[in-house]
Amino acid sequence: MNAMFDLAGKVAVVTGANTGLGQAIAAALARAGATIVAVGRSDPADTAARVREAGGALHWHAADLAETGASAGIVAAIVREHGAIDVLVNNAGTIRRSDAVDFSEEDWDAVMNVNLKSAFFLTQAAGRWIIANGRRGKVINIASMLSFQGGIRVASYTASKSALAGITRLLANEWASKGINVNAIAPGYFATNNTQALRADETRNRDILARIPAGRWGEPDDLGGAAVFLASRASDYVHGTVLPVDGGWLAR
């Protein structure tokens, strides 16, 4: 392992790590040497198995991230049990689809609470601890192509991911001088549960693939390298960036 990318001895908290992108990120960070703390409602048994295969250890902290008032307690419990938080990956997310003229307040709040509000307040709690203890830290927000574009039929998802990119830049401005790197990864079109409806729609699937220069949907493991980079010493002078991992989608 190149020392610049070595995460041995680091505690990495990954939200929504039980499937898809979060699972792949957790496995990649473990492969680089980090201890993984998975935060979410569901037992990440499959992710734990992948982390073990990577030679690492995963610990599950059960929490409902829709309950945004729990953030300080989550951070306190993780620090109490593991001694530190060195890396925070805000990956947990949800999506609701409906035409804008029909979009409900319930669907708006459900998405914004998990994708944006929870991510901000969990980061706030982790940042408070890191700053108060004079440590360095890395925050990686999982943004989206819809941090750059509008999309269709996903009003609250687009709003949340656009705002998450803005919060990434704001926190970088406030915390860069305090030893905390705050950056984001913007995945392109990946084969996950959230995109099942798009991949099942023959027309949408064809149109999406036609625009991706790489000619394929991303696989979750394609995200691992970017996550390790942003979690490691290699990114110590990288602040406030939103890194697309998109098969060339935005270059088209």
Can you list the domains of the chain with their CATH numbers?
A: 3-251 (3.40.50.720)
CA dist 47 and 114 (Å) reads 21
CB neighbours of 53 closer than 8 A, spacing ≥ 6? 27
How many other CB atoms sit within 10 Å of the CB of residue 248?
13
Contact 193, 249 (CB under 8 A): no
Phi, psi of 175 (to 5 degrees): -110, -10
Instruction: Please list the pLDDT of the chain residue by residue as tens digits (252 residues).
Output: 679 999 999 999 999 999 999 999 999 999 999 999 999 999 999 999 999 999 999 999 999 998 878 999 999 999 999 999 999 999 999 999 999 999 999 999 999 999 999 999 999 999 999 999 999 999 999 999 999 999 999 999 999 999 999 999 999 999 999 999 999 999 999 998 878 888 999 999 999 999 999 999 999 999 999 999 999 999 999 999 999 999 999 999
Q: Cα 112–114–119 angle (5° rounding)?
A: 100
* pTM over the 0.85 mark: yes
Q: Which residue matches tokens 């979410």?
A: 40
CA dist 169 and 143 (Å) reads 12
Q: Which residues are catalytic?
A: 157
How many other CB atoms sit within 10 Å of the CB of residue 49?
13
